[in-house]
Amino acid sequence: MSKVSILLAVHNCAEFLSAAIQSVLKQTYSNWELIIVENGSSDSTLQIARDYSKQDMRILCFQLPEKGKCAAYNLAFANCTGDFICYFAGDDLLVENSLEQRVEYTRNHPFNFSTCLIETISENPKYDGVLFPKQKKTMNFSGGALFFLRSLGERIFPIPVNLPNEDTWTMLHLKAFGLGRPVTQVLYRYRIHLLNSYGYDLSFQEKRRRFIERMNAYRLFKAKYPNLSDHSFIDYINAYIQALNMFELGFNLKILLLPHLPIRQRLVFIYFSSPLLYFLRNRFFRKLSGFFG
**How far apart are alpha carbons 79 and 153 in whole angstroms?**
13
pLDDT digits (tens, 9 = 90+) for 229-275: 898 999 999 999 999 999 998 877 888 888 899 988 888 888 888 88
Helix (H/G/I), strand (E/B), else coil: 114: strand
Which string of b and e fits 63-81 if b means at least 16 CB within 10 Å? bbeeebbbbbbbbbbeebe
Q: Model pTM?
A: 0.93
Note the helical H segments in the chain: 14-25, 45-55, 69-78, 98-106, 150-156, 167-177, 204-215, 217-224, 231-248, 263-271, 275-283, 285-288
Q: Where in the chain is the domain with CATH 3.90.550.10?
A: 4-191
| 91: nearest Cα among 22, 1, 148, 177 | 22
Query: 124-176 pLDDT, tens per residue?
Result: 888 899 998 888 889 999 999 999 999 999 999 999 999 999 999 999 999 99
CA pair distance 149, 231, nearest whole angstrom? 25
Angle, helix 275-283 to helix 263-271, in steps of 10 degrees: 110
CATH superfamily of 4-191: Spore Coat Polysaccharide Biosynthesis Protein SpsA; Chain A (3.90.550.10)
Q: Which residues of 122-134 are buried (b: 16+ CB within 10 A; e: fewer)?
A: beeeebeebbbbe
User: What per-residue confidence (pLDDT) applies to 198?
Assistant: 67
